[in-house]
Structure 1
Amino acid sequence: MVQAFGRRTVPPGRRCTPPSPGGHMLIGRECELERLVGLLGGPVTGTAVLVHGDSGSGKSGFLRAAVDRARQDGDTVVVASGDPLESGFAFGVVRQLFERLAVDALQDVPRGLLSGHAGACATVLAPWTVPDTAARPPSGNGHEPDPVILNGLYWLAVNLTALGRLVVVVDDLQWADAASLHWLRYLLRRAGSLPVVVIATLGPGRAAADNEPLGAVLPLFRHQLTLSGLSPADTAAVILELFGESADPAFTAECHRVTGGNPFLLYALLRSLRAAGLSPGPGTAAELLRHVPPDVGRAVYALLANTGRYAAAVAQAVAVLGGSPAVELVSEAAELTEGQAADAADALVRAGLMVRCGDGVRFVCPTLATAVADGVLPSTRQELHLRSARLLLARQAPVGQVAGHLLLCPVGEPGTPDVLRRAAAEAVQEGRPERAAEYTRRALREPLGEEDRATLLITRGEAELASSVPAAVQHLQRGLELSRCPEERTTAARALAGALFALDRYPDGLAVLSSTSDAVRQEDADSALQLETEFAFASLSQAGSAAAVLPRLLELDLADAEGGAAERPVAALLSLRAAMTGEDPARVIAFAQKALSHGLHPADDQSGVYLGAILALGAVGQAGLALPYAEAAVAESRERGSALVCARASAARAGVNSRLGRILDAQQDALDALAALEEIGVGPHNSYSVAPNAILIDSLVKQGEIEEAAAQLERAGLTGDLDGHWVNDYVLLVRGRLRAAEGLPQEALADFLACGGRMCGRSMPGPGFLSWRPEAALMHAALGEGMAARALAAEELDLARDWGVPEPVGVALRAAGAVTGGPEGLAMLRQAVDVLGGTTARFSFAQALADLGTQARRAGRFDEAREHLQQAVDAAHGLGARALADRALAELRAIGDRPRTRTFRGVDALTPTERRVSALAAQGLTNREIAQHLFVGLRTVEVHLTNTYGKLGIAGRPELAEALGGTAGDC
């Protein structure tokens, strides 16, 4: 069997696909083309195919492919296109089909020649042989057809049987004139015995129900094809064809969304992007609608002109209103009656430009909406937005919806400032600070009184903290100057001070807090106390101001703030004071929990003082208790969209994770904090950036990345003298650890002692915050200064035992044991392991294990050494502390062990052979089958499985698959 297609045959099984003019223009139409090829390759008589598709779906390109293929196969092809402007001219489409056949040489064809082709003549001349005069073409006497058409038809009738096959192609059949449709109806009804193929496309426009001739023709098309929108995969193929590179998935998805897969819109948009020199990446995806080319708008408005009298007005109203506005709202915005708007909306839906959404309508895709909106004159646009805002206000619509229109209205509309202010406050709560800043910028253009202007400036400044701290400072300062409301002034002063501190303008920030506190004290004592609390916390961070604020800090009492807005910030400050002065740890925890009862960054009070409660919990060994607060703060900051709050929350969590020994988590949080700060103009050398930089450096040191840690220290500008901010006390501790890892004990000791001197100068001599004495004691010992080492270690141990917090006691015991040595030192290290094993300080615990194993090896207690060193390797490996794990492994090798992995527990501890044996066992093989598979003895398999069970901490084979997890199939 062969398949006939014109005068060519195609072997069975071979795909017969028409050529693709324009190449990529037919991407996504392969199935439809193949079906059309199959239809054309069928019976040579009476085939009629109707191709459906919306505007821009590629119907014309599809037809061109069919025409080219038919001509290649020797068929005679005549082509015409319907046009709404010509739909009233009788036989306009027929004339297009046959005027090219009416050459001068054929005008004198003798009529006698028609006698042998009566059937053909009856078909092609049918409209002139029936009594329906309305279907006849216009002529001088009302009876004779246009000579051009008649000559073409005569020639066709004479030569039809000799042509082989005639392919009649009509594009946009919905716009064909009634006379041509009448003729086509007769042709289709009689074409079953003639070598004629009719292919037509039908797009949106006039409905068959409203057009009797069209309705009579459509049922005569026995074959139907539908050109739907391109799929996401087709969209990706088009992008590859146009750009020559694969697109980012987000870009592809956005292209498909904004164009609805419409080929015309997709090609137009992509060509515009290519002309602008943009690549198909994720950054471009957000800007797609900014590049809708003008020719799309022209094409859409041409469609609107043919869709109905009020279609353009309704389309413009919907485009400006946005979303899916109700027809009632559209009618009022467009100044139409509701009936006129409804009729126009129905016409737009029929035209494929819009879809129904309940009581409203929307464009089928955002690109169409943008194209229509771009064509609205500025004056018309302003009027539409103004009418829309008024209508929405009258209907008590959400303020955000109204504000979107007010942004584009002329200045002077009553009520605009109030609506925009409320919308800005709502946007801040929803985590859209950029939108809030936009609302307030617009509101400030209105004529305002001083108090209203102050409120808007403060709101704007608070919103800008998420995007530009310098800009926020400017507007908060001006708002604070204008405001006379104590509560509003307190809010502004705290926000302004925080912004100034972020820019390292500490004296200015302290001055703002102090002066505002004095100014509001008589009217609002609670607000004054909030400001005073903020002032005290900020003063503690500076060496020059810490001593002066200590007396007031020591006399502060929670009863002074009970029940007021200052209660939680005062509790945060008191928790920090209790930790500084070595009060009962339970009291520290109670204050901290009260302070954090609404979170680290509560929505009603985003003060930095709550970080003091987190620091206090860490100091009393309760970093695990602090972690949920820090994690919640990170999650909430991302919802709010504030880069400053996100940076502070990430930095806080980085510090908590570092205390818990979660090295890799701490590193990632530090990187996130630095990235967020950079977004808002807070540079890497700013005090807000110092803590995450220090945590990052410390994490790198613990991972053994010494060169990268040193490079980061250099990049952060932390290599030289450091100012008096208390965050630099921590930098000195971390820098000392780096110098020690670099083999520079003298430089490390200098940093540790400098850290201690600064801490004591802040009246924070206790061991809870920074363990500088143990680090300094170890450096003294490394330099051969045993007496100084033991003295520092003993001092730390006494202070820690006096306070009674297990973590500092364990850290002090570890240092004392390491510098004391001998049996006494070994006993201290055992105590350190016991104490730290019950705390959340997992890195300190791993250090103690490693030191105990090392001391035991030196004392010749190899079994004990092996046990502790293996535990140290496991603990350090689990934390990501590669440097410590490597040190413990080196000690094991000194004993004579030959460990092959960095851990002795878990899947990572398995040797390659243990992995293979356990994987086969997890798959269900017996021990004997495993032995045969691996060519080893049965006893060897048993030994490997026993070792595997121990390392994985399981009882036997039934638990093996679960313990191996996703690695079972890879072993």
Structure 2
Amino acid sequence: MATACASRLVGRDRELGRIKSIVDGSPASLLVLGDIGTGRSTLLELAAEHAAAGNRAVAALRGRPLEHDRPFTALHRLLRQLLSDARATGMKPPWAFEPTLDLPDDPALVRSAALSIVDAATSRSPLVVVIDDAHRLDQPSLDAIAFVQRHIGGRPLTVVLSAVGEATPPAVDATIPTMVLEPLPLDASARLLDSRPGAPTGLARRHILVRAQGNPLTLVELGALHAVGHDVYTSLPDRARLFLDEIGRLPEQTRALLTYAAAAHGRPRLAVIARAAGVKLRLADWAAAEQSGVVTIVAEHVVFTHPLARMAALHAATEEGMRRAHSDLADVTADDPGARAWHLAHAGADRAEAAAELEAAADLATGELLEATCAYVAAARRSDDPDERRRRYTKATTAAGRLGDPGWARELAAVLRATTDDRESLAVAACACARALSQLSHQHAAFAEVSPALAETPPRSLLMASLLAVAASIAFHSGDPAHRAAVSRLLHNVRTGPGHLSGDLVIYARAAIAPGRLPAESRRRIEYACRTSTSPTQLLALGTAAWHADESELAVELFQQGFANARTREQRGEFLDCFPAMISALIDTGRWREADAMIRYGQHVATVARADRLHVEVTALRALLTAYRGDGDAATALLDDVWHQVDLDDNRSVHALVLIAAGAAALTSGNPENAYLHLRALFDADGSPRHHFLSPRAIGQLAIAAWRSGRVDRAAPVLAAVRTCAGPRPTVRMTLLIHHAAALIDGDRTAEKHFRAALRLPVSQRWPLSRALAVMDMSEWLRKHHRPVEARPLLAEAVESFTRLEASALAFRARAHLRAAGVAGGPVATGDFSALTRQQQRVARLAADGLRNREIADRMHLSPRTVAQHLYATYAKLGITGRSGLRDVIPFDGAAGE
């Protein structure tokens, strides 16, 4: 039963943890509050099971409506469960609770008897009392339970209650701590809905998520209706009929006002409802609805108490009454084009007029993509003219893709295809469908979808650039050389104007299929866009291009701007494909806490969008970061859940991320053999990279695993293949990685040359983890060759870098090597301050005076990033671990601050 309960309890981990802590920390009490269907009963069931598993006695009770006016009935049912434990202590139960006798009339006698029984029961073992629907218990029983809690004298008694609503019911002791169950967040709602048999997809899924408003029971019931073939737009769940019955008993005027409230958007104002209905505003008209629990009045707004209550109000209205309500609401919402259009459409207005209003409202709703998509669909369905219907379905398909709902975009693409034979519209449908298939992890099917459109679309057009960008993204994720070759051939024929979005998409497509140094013109374009653009599409496309070119810091700047703009506009579809690149760039540049936040958001978006590929990618990157921080076992556990969630042969980029994370986890856990096997799987038998971008960038980790596991000879062909792939002018990052790998694989004769070449790179600090690993491996090599004095400043730099990154296991290892190199207390300063450049000296003096990087940058007219680079180079040269060591090595200079 515990497993069944836990499977129904989605998104309540924090609340369940609090209840368990209350159960484990008796004596204590807790009142769980929440609307119908929020999971109160399930939480109490799990609390009882947790108590029983901890060898605690459990007494469970549920309130019954018919017992509310029968004194002590609930208490009698509760205490009967404790009689056997009480008798086992030798206590003779009070006469009032013998099975054949009635309850006494004296409340004091009943409370005293209850205290005696509970006291006896808790003398044998801790007792947990679980009371569901406490608001339905009779008042004398609740008073007696509160009396027992106050007078039990420290016995191990815990009482967990639940009640409907957000405030403690008048009958319940107001001093009991409360926990309110809020509606589930959207990602938890999506997880719950998707876990049900016959889970909906596309528009039906979105509709249920919006209508349920985070209420678990409503999600389950609407999902069940869909699973058995009912129309979720018009069908009414069984539990909603309780509200329907309540509405049926309301006065006619109140029922009419409820129709207007249900037809309105969100939480309508009382004044708006009254004006639309043509009546005076009187709170008395709403009193009966409030008393029945259908609505509540909050700050002059009408709020339905439950999603099912609103659904019941819609169901209770006549067809004519609902049309009249929409028509009247359209008249009073003239200042809100979106709401007015929606009401006109549902009021049975002229189809052409309603469609035009809906399309115009959707065009204006730039920050409300969900509403815009729904409006485009509604407008298309009301369009009798084929061209207008095609245009509106095209807009709807594009909006669904930008919204980040691949299932819905795919559905709309199919509708669009069935609607028209227009070549441009069919290309839009192919683009949307291919992108959706890719996000759902079907790369070869996605490429087959987009290929015909690529062959038929004019090369000099924004649509062609968009198709190429989608095809390049698919080729990147599939890792199929044939896909990259096909895109490459098409790119030769594309001509775009400078500064156009189509040109930016082509820059992205070229970088995705052939990563490497950016051409000078492309780099200038990217840097200009970074300073001036506000378009999420442009910023994210160019950010991904920069990432493919190993311009990691530039990529982060573009991504941060693009993500911020896209999130503001609800354009999650713009960055579904960019999440892994963004997170990877943050990890590579040492911004691990920012990467944590992006991973959490990525998991949220993947769940809401039901984007299978993104879910595995984000989980793999989370595991990678966990491994870097020193918890290899936790990283391995994260990966255990994702190996089979997508077809890894169809998604080589995903497979590469999982293998890289698995290799890092094995290295952290002290298992270089397994690490080598995982990382070697990134390459074919002859050493060729299985993924053209991600595999070569794991060469440093592979070399470390091969070196530690004694497989250096087997790794040599891989290094040779990576050198070939990198070409004669590799990026700075690849140069660093190749020199580091060569130092470990090529042998002692050239090791020092390669180490020094790697560390001499002027901007290697941009990839702090990669540099720190090379630094530590060089220091180990120096110590192995009896040169500990030279190793000390390198180890000091490694300690500082790993500590700053919070890579605890690596920092611990570096400190151990530092002690072995003869520095008993940790890093020591061994460098010469005069060896620094004049600019480094000035930066160091200002930092020693307590100025922060941005303050130093402002004073010296530099960027904060350049200041950070100078400081990292200074620490390495001086053999110190951070700012705290600067004062000890900087000679006095009265002009330091000048």
The TM tier, using the shorter chain, reads 0.5 to 0.7
Size of the aligned set, in residue pairs, is 615
Partners of 1:620 and 1:318 lie apart in 2 by: 55
Partner of 2:157: none
Tell me if the contact between 2:380 and 2:388 (Cα under 8 Å) persists in the aligned partners: no
Q: Does 1:493 align with 2:430?
A: yes
Q: Does residue 246 of structure 1 match 2:178? A: yes
CA deviations 1:920-952 (Å, max 9, x no partner) are xxxxxxxxxxxxxxxxxxxxxxxxxxxx99863
Q: Choose from 884, 887, 897 the match for 1:952.
A: 884
2:523 matched residue in structure 1: 589
Per-residue displacement from partner, 1:367-402 (whole Å, max 9, x unpaired)? Answer: 499999959843564243343255358x5x432121
Q: 1:735 to 1:824 in 2, by over 3 A?
A: same
Conservation of the 8 A alpha-carbon contact between 2:536 and 2:574: no
- 1:890 is aligned with what amino acid? A
1:573 to 502, 509, 514: 509
**Displacement of 1:843 after TM fit?**
0.4
Assess, with a 3 A threshold, how the Cα gap between structure 1 residues 444 and 510 changes in structure 2: closer, same or farther.
Answer: same
- In structure 2, the partner of 1:635 is 564
Q: Which 5+ residue runs of structure 2 have no aligned equivalent?
A: 1-30, 32-164, 184-212, 220-239, 291-296, 831-879, 889-898
Query: 1:376-387, aligned counterparts within 5 Å?
Result: 377-379=317-319, 381-387=321-327
Alignment of 1:219-234 (within 5 A): none
Deviation at 1:479, TM superposition (A): 0.8
Task: Identify the residue that residue 866 of structure 1 maps to in structure 2.
Answer: 792
Cα 1:597–1:536 change in 2 (3 A) is: farther
Give me the whole-angstrom Cα distance separating, in 2, the residues matched to 1:320 and 1:803.
Answer: 65
Instruction: Check conservation: 2:579, 2:602, Cα contact below 8 A.
Output: yes
Q: Which has the larger radius of gyration?
A: 1
Partners of 2:567 and 2:715 in 1: CA distance:
46
Q: CA deviation at 1:241?
A: 4.8
User: SS of 2:179's equivalent?
Assistant: coil
Closer, same or farther in 2 for the Cα pair 1:284/1:776, shift >3 Å? closer
Tell me if 1:657 matches 2:593.
no
* Counterpart for residue 691 of structure 1: 617
Gaps in structure 1 of 5+ consecutive residues: 1-23, 25-232, 252-280, 306-311, 355-360, 905-947, 957-971
Q: Percent identity?
A: 18
Q: C-alpha displacement at 1:841, in angstroms?
A: 0.2
Q: Secondary structure at the match of 2:728?
A: helix
Equivalent in 702, 705, 712 of residue 631 of structure 2:
705
Say if 1:612 and 1:462 are closer, same or farther in 2 by CA, change over 3 A.
closer
Three-state SS of the structure 2 residue aligned to 1:366 is strand
Question: Which residue is equivalent to 2:340?
Answer: 402
Quickly say closer, same or farther: Cα 1:885–1:283, change in 2 above 3 A.
Answer: farther
Q: How does 1:196-595 map to 2 (within 5 A)?
A: 241=173, 246-248=178-180, 333-334=276-277, 344-345=280-281, 364-367=300-303, 374=313, 377-379=317-319, 381-388=321-328, 391=331, 397-406=335-344, 408-410=346-348, 415-427=353-365, 429-433=366-370, 435-440=371-376, 442-443=378-379, 446=382, 448-465=384-401, 466=403, 468-483=405-420, 488-521=425-458, 525-539=461-475, 541-542=477-478, 543=480, 545-546=482-483, 548-549=485-486, 552=489, 555-556=492-493, 559-560=495-496, 566-576=502-512, 580=515, 582=516, 586-587=520-521, 589-590=523-524, 592-593=526-527
Evaluate the alpha carbon distance shift between residue 536 and residue 801 of structure 1 in structure 2; reply closer, same or farther with a 3 A threshold: closer
User: Which residue in the other structure is 1:44 paired with?
Assistant: none
TM-score w.r.t. the length of structure 2 is 0.56
CA distance in 2, matches of 1:385, 1:714: 54
Q: TM-score, normalised by structure 1?
A: 0.53
Deviations 1:63-92 (A, max 9, x none): xxxxxxxxxxxxxxxxxxxxxxxxxxxxxx
* Separation in 2, partners of 1:743, 1:690: 25
Q: Kindly indicate whether the alpha-carbon contact (under 8 Å) linking 2:788 and 2:822 is maintained by their aligned counterparts in 1.
A: no
Residue 573 of structure 1: CA displacement? 1.8
Alpha-carbon displacement from aligned partner over 1:741-770 (angstroms, at most 9, x marks no partner): 4555555445444424499868987x8973
* 2:551 paired residue number: 622
8 A Cα contact 1:454 1:480, kept in partner = no
Q: Is the 8 Å Cα contact of residues 583 and 595 (structure 2) preserved in structure 1? A: yes
TM-aligned CA distance change 1:461 to 1:440, over 3 Å? same
TM superposition shift of 1:494: 1.8
Residues 873 and 286 (structure 1 numbering): CA distance in 2 closer, same or farther, change over 3 Å?
Answer: farther
Gap change, CA 1:729 and 1:238, over 3 Å in 2: same
Q: Which amino acid aligns with 1:448?
A: D
Summarize the Cα distance change of 1:834–1:708 in structure 2 as closer, same or farther, 3 Å threshold.
Answer: same
Alpha carbons of 1:297 and 1:759: their partners in 2 closer, same or farther (altered >3 Å)? farther
Q: CA deviation at 1:489?
A: 4.1
Is the Cα–Cα contact under 8 Å of residues 743 and 752 in structure 2 kept in the other structure? yes
Contact 2:437–2:445 under 8 Å retained in 1: yes
Cα distance in 1 between the residues matched to 2:475 and 2:432:
16
Q: Find the counterpart in structure 2 of residue 161 from structure 1.
A: none
- Distance of 1:293 and 1:719 partners within structure 2: 41
**Counterpart AA for 1:538:** I
1:499 to partner: Cα distance:
0.7
Offset of 1:655 from its aligned partner?
1.6
1:721 CA displacement: 9.1
Opposite residue 606 of structure 2, the aligned amino acid is L
Residue 670 of structure 1 corresponds to 599
Q: Give the corresponding residue for 1:856.
A: 782
Query: For the Cα contact (< 8 Å) 1:634–1:650, is it kept in 2?
Result: no
Tell me if structure 2 keeps the 8 A contact 1:774–1:811.
yes
For the aligned residues, what is the CA RMSD? 5.3
- In structure 2, distance between residues paired with 1:425 and 1:831: 56
**Deviation of residue 464 (structure 1)?**
4.6
* 8 A Cα contact 1:600 1:633, kept in partner: yes
- Are the structure 2 counterparts of residues 887 and 721 from structure 1 closer, same or farther at C-alpha, using a change threshold of 3 Å? farther
Partner of 1:755: 682
Contact 1:793–1:815 (Cα < 8 Å) also in 2: yes
Q: Which amino acid in 2 is paired with 1:589?
A: R
Q: Which of 769, 787, 810 is the aligned partner of 1:843?
A: 769
The 3-state SS of whatever aligns with 2:761 is helix
- Give the 3-state SS of the residue equivalent to 1:566 in structure 2: helix
Cα distance in 1 for partners of 2:658, 2:768 equals 21
How far 1:705 moved relative to its partner?
Answer: 1.7
Aligned counterparts of 1:363 and 1:624: Cα–Cα separation in 2: 48
Query: How far, CA to CA, are the matches of 1:692 and 1:869 in structure 2?
Result: 32
- Specify the alignment match of 1:815 in structure 2: 741
Q: Is the 8 A contact 2:504 2:541 kept in 1?
A: no
Q: 1:674 to 1:644 in 2, by over 3 A?
A: farther
